[in-house]
A and B are shown apart, each in its own frame.
Chain A
């Protein structure tokens, strides 16, 4: 593994944890599983304890590189970053399966349309959070994601 890959992974990891801290994530580390029932089995592993791998086996960029995108020049989704500054949870940041929503230092959101799956989840979670920051449409015909194995 080259230095740059390690670097990329590390940076990503840092960004993730920063994001978790920033978002009002329920305290699952402090109080164990919180609302979950007690664990009676003596030998069973605690499901909350580190089953989620520390490191994904793929860097996210490599994961997205498996997908073909016929990128359109103009974005088909427009995010009103001013509206995002007022949004407390910014659920789009973690929910987007392509990780296209990036928080900015001033509390807004930068959106990159190029690797969009066109799933529509961002619009749903934005409206779910009481927001109206996302203008959503499909890209022009023939553009956007092209899936072959799914």
Chain B
């Protein structure tokens, strides 16, 4: 049987980062990918925060296949025909070291896997890992793939096999998963000429826009996003799986609803659909984080539920890369020390705890649940209604005072000023 020090399952950002780190540390690494190329099965919101790569791939921004650099972030609260936006722009984000990058996963993931390959990892695509191989003591000793002669022995298996994480589940590291712990991301990629995108979103050169939209899907607590690539715009929704099932609304109808909003439709008019896609997103911070390591196995990225879905922050790729780096280091160290037991691999979790990965997820652990609560879901409408009252010139009637407007609007939404203050304080606290 073939043997590698480290077998990484899944060549997404977590897997490639793990393979790259372990290979750089001198381990022999096999990187398995079930798609015909890395990124073929992957969907993301659109933005990658790449600073986590700074140490691993110096000057990564010069080689990574990036479409645009985010220089405009906006958070839109939308309801009915109204929309209230906080629009932030920063020209400095268009220069190194940049802040957010908009990229296609088919290109980005292939690039990162290529970096791992050049560092010595062996990439094998079109190969699904179907089961774990166990030693007599129950510890993980390798993986079985769906190819002839496809059993591979490993010092450490790093499971980066995505949100469904069949391997982590098989290893008993994750419960079977319930609809409450996941959201469905569904998106459309729409083509427009590049200069048309520049004009509509107010961009030049490689500048890009990332917009989050709250409240524009009436029946479900979905958040929506809009991201610009060079000559496409991706528009999509992130909707809790349980709410989607309960509402009996189809995912593409939610996207249609977002696209039809009068504040969003002008951005997308006349665009041509290039691809429709959907994927599960772990709603990690709400669920109890699963065990991340067992004897001979580590779990990273989406497979470990390491995704931040907290209000304006929708981050996954950087968390995947961060956890992959930590796993690669821990695995290489364990292999070097000749001990790949659970205790030896426990260093993985402590590495994550001292980094942003578990730090951020812990800090914002209450946010996703709070943002989705019935109480908080009234705020986009409340804010829009308050803005309407304040900005509608109702002459000859005199203008109402701000406090009056707030009180009246809150009352109409079944709340008192006291509730607003309490919710505001709680929101602030949950954001740490």
Contact = CB atoms under 8 A, between A and B. Distances in A.
Interface of A: 16, 20, 23, 25, 28, 33, 35, 37-48, 51-53, 56-58, 60, 62-64, 66-67, 70, 89, 91, 94-95, 97-99, 117-121, 123-125, 127-129, 136-142, 144-150
Given A94-B248, A147-B39, 19 more contacts: A33-B218, A38-B412, A38-B413, A40-B411, A41-B388, A53-B256, A60-B252, A67-B276, A70-B36, A91-B246, A94-B250, A97-B186, A97-B251, A117-B277, A140-B146, A141-B126, A141-B146, A145-B40, A149-B277
A112 to B, nearest CB: 16
A12 B273 CA distance: 20
Contacts of A28: 219
B184 A121 contact: yes
Contact of A142 (B36, B187, B277): B36
B408 A46 contact: no
B256 A141 contact: no
A146 B40 contact: yes
A41 B389 contact: yes
A60 B250 CA distance: 11
A40 B409 contact: yes
A119 B280 contact: yes
Interface residues of B, number: 79
B126 to A, nearest CB: 3
A30 B50 CA distance: 49
Contacts of A45: 80-81
A137 B34 CA distance: 12
Contacts of B249: 94
Nearest to A55: B256
Interface string B157-185: 00000011010000000001111101010
Contact of B276 (A42, A46, A51, A66): A66
B277 A150 contact: yes
B28 interface: no
Do most interface residues of chain A lie in helix, strand or loop, or is the interface mixed?
A: loop
A78 B319 CA distance: 33
Contacts of A95: 184, 241, 244-245, 250-251
Contacts of A98: 278
B413 A37 contact: yes
27 contacts: A28-B219, A37-B413, A37-B414, A40-B412, A44-B79, A47-B381, A51-B257, A56-B256, A58-B273, A63-B276, A66-B273, A67-B276, A94-B249, A97-B250, A97-B252, A121-B182, A121-B244, A121-B278, A124-B280, A125-B241, A138-B128, A141-B128, A142-B125, A148-B104, A148-B106, A150-B106, A150-B189
B80 A120 contact: no
Interface stretch (B41-49, B89-97, B332-340): B41-49
A128 to B, nearest CB: 4
A137 B242 CA distance: 21
Interface in B246-269: 246, 248-253, 256-257, 260-261
A78 to B, nearest CB: 16
Most chain B CB within 10 A, of A42, A52, A60, is at A52
A127 B180 CA distance: 11
Contacts of A53: 256-257, 260
A141 B125 contact: yes
Interface string B102-142: 00111000000000000000000111101000000000000
B413 A40 contact: yes
A143 to B, nearest CB: 8
Contacts of B44: 150
Given A52-B253, A58-B273, A119-B278, A37 B412 contact: yes
A87 to B, nearest CB: 12
B26 interface: no
A117 B279 contact: yes
Contacts of B147: 141
B430 interface: no
Most chain B CB within 10 A, of A23, A64, A118, A141, is at A141
Nearest to A25: B248
B85 interface: no
B399 interface: no
Given A98-B278, A141-B128, A91 B385 contact: no
B242 A52 contact: no
